[in-house]
Structure 1
Amino acid sequence: MRLRYKPWAKDYIAEHPEYVVSDPKQWRGKWGDRFEKEQPIHIEVGMGKGKFLVEMAQKNPTINFIGVEIQESIIVLALEKVIAEKLPNIQLLHLNGSDLKEDFEPGEVDRIYLNFSDPWPKKRHTKRRLTYKTFLETYQDILSPDGYLQLKTDNQGLFEYSLVSLSEFKATLMDVSLDLHALNDPDNVTTEYEEKFSAKGNRIYRLRATLH
């Protein structure tokens, strides 16, 4: 996702330490203290503008959600939504997804969402795909024994790659949907990209997998 540079983003983020964590390492192993209540933790890696994260938090008040995003110009758009809704069960991290092991203890996370991640289609960029084995190793480390990974994408190449990568990782596939919207799943919360691509007639793929 490319957005116009926002020179005010850094200051806006700094003005809201109640929602944006500036030093996530200090909360490793005690993320429950950042929230109003100690509850299961779900994280979205690459949260975009925050639609999915905010709606999930609204629908699931007994779960604490953490959104991870590397681009300041995007994280501020999610922050605006969080502030408007005054949600006590959301925190945001300005962080690269590859650093998660340094910021969460083993077993501290109950679910990880990868929504419409960059497919990095060129072979030389394989290691950047969020379902490459090094990322899977990180997810495996921070997920609880009963936790799982969920991926949604409209990119068939990334989906097929992820199925192979998970298989080679010896993950257990819990659910594979080749046309998610045809299921009319009432629990499916959409993202901005999901609505855009679906409106164009693109098929939406989803998988869920345990990594232990």
Structure 2
Amino acid sequence: MRLRNKPGASEALLKQPTIVIQNPLNNKGKWREIFGNDNPIHVEVGTGKGQFLTGMSQLHPDINYIGVEKYDSVIITALERIQQADLTNFKLLNEDVVNLINYFAEGEIDRVYINFTDPWPKNRHEKRRLTYESFLKMYEQVLKKNGEIHFKTDNQGLFEYSLHSFSKYGLILNNVSLDLHNSNIEGNVMTEYEEKFSQKGMRIYRCEAQFR
């Protein structure tokens, strides 16, 4: 899908350094200082327009959230949502998730969310999938011991691949749902894509994967 360019997005992001954190390399190991508290830190990789983390931030003010999104024209909407809701526990990184270990110290994160990521269905693109083993190794490094990945997708092939990838890596699978919206899970906050796909009657797949 081709992204629509938003004129002035880059400049607008730079004008909000307390929300869109600049030079995150300098903040490695210091995120609790950035938030000014010792609350748990949850990170969403590929946060998109920020609907999910905006909802989570409002529901859980005692948790600090960081959304990582590399596209200016997408993350600008997340910034606008944070400003409109006046959230203090939601920060943004306008960066690529492949560099995650450069921004967070070992064990600094409590949970990672992966929501409706690109499935990269071709075999030659397997290494780009955010549930590929090299990404799992990266998450394991920045997550605390027994930290979790919470994963949602509409793509059955990616879900099956991810379950296998998680299991092969040695993660413990919990709360696996093959039809999230017809399950009894509580407190689900939907992403933009999740709303769109569920309205079309498509299944939403979800699981939690815990490092040992």
- TM-score range (shorter-chain normalised) is over 0.9
Partner of 1:117: 117
Aligned amino acid, residue 171 of structure 1: L
Aligned amino acid, residue 196 of structure 2: K
Distance 1:43 1:180 in 2: 21
Do 2:47 and 2:53's aligned partners in 1 also have CA atoms closer than 8 Å? yes
Distance 2:66 2:147 in 1: 15
Distance 1:147 1:44 in 2: 14
Distance 2:47 2:75 in 1: 8
1:11 matches 2:11: yes
Question: Deviation of residue 174 (structure 1)?
Answer: 1.7
TM-score normalised by structure 2 residue count: 0.97
Partner of 1:93: 93
Superposition map of 1:54-93 within 5 A: 54-93=54-93
Q: Deviations over 1:172-211 (max 9, x none)?
A: 1122110110014331000000010011111000010112
TM-score normalised by structure 1 residue count: 0.97
Distance 2:162 2:205 in 1: 11
Question: Deviation of residue 85 (structure 1)?
Answer: 1.0
Question: Deviation of residue 37 (structure 1)?
Answer: 2.6
Question: Deviation of residue 171 (structure 1)?
Answer: 1.1
Do 1:36 and 1:89's aligned partners in 2 also have CA atoms closer than 8 Å? no
Distance 1:205 1:49 in 2: 21
Distance 1:121 1:36 in 2: 41
Partner of 1:188: 188
Partner of 1:39: 39
Distance 2:170 2:56 in 1: 29
Distance 1:146 1:170 in 2: 12
Q: For residues 2 and 33 of structure 1, do their structure 2 counterparts lie closer, same or farther at Cα, with a shift above 3 Å needed? A: farther
Runs of 4 or more, structure 1, over 2 Å off, are: none
Distance 1:36 1:134 in 2: 32
Identity among equivalent pairs (%): 51
Aligned residues: 212
Do 1:153 and 1:206's aligned partners in 2 also have CA atoms closer than 8 Å? yes
Unaligned runs of 5+ in 2: none
Partner of 1:133: 133
Structure 1 stretch displaced more, 179-188 or 14-23: 179-188
Distance 1:121 1:41 in 2: 31
Do 1:24 and 1:93's aligned partners in 2 also have CA atoms closer than 8 Å? yes
Question: Deviation of residue 55 (structure 1)?
Answer: 0.5
Do 2:146 and 2:211's aligned partners in 1 also have CA atoms closer than 8 Å? no
Unaligned runs of 5+ in 1: none
CA RMSD of aligned residues (A): 1.0
Aligned amino acid, residue 196 of structure 1: K
Partner of 2:176: 176
Do 1:36 and 1:88's aligned partners in 2 also have CA atoms closer than 8 Å? no
Aligned amino acid, residue 208 of structure 1: E
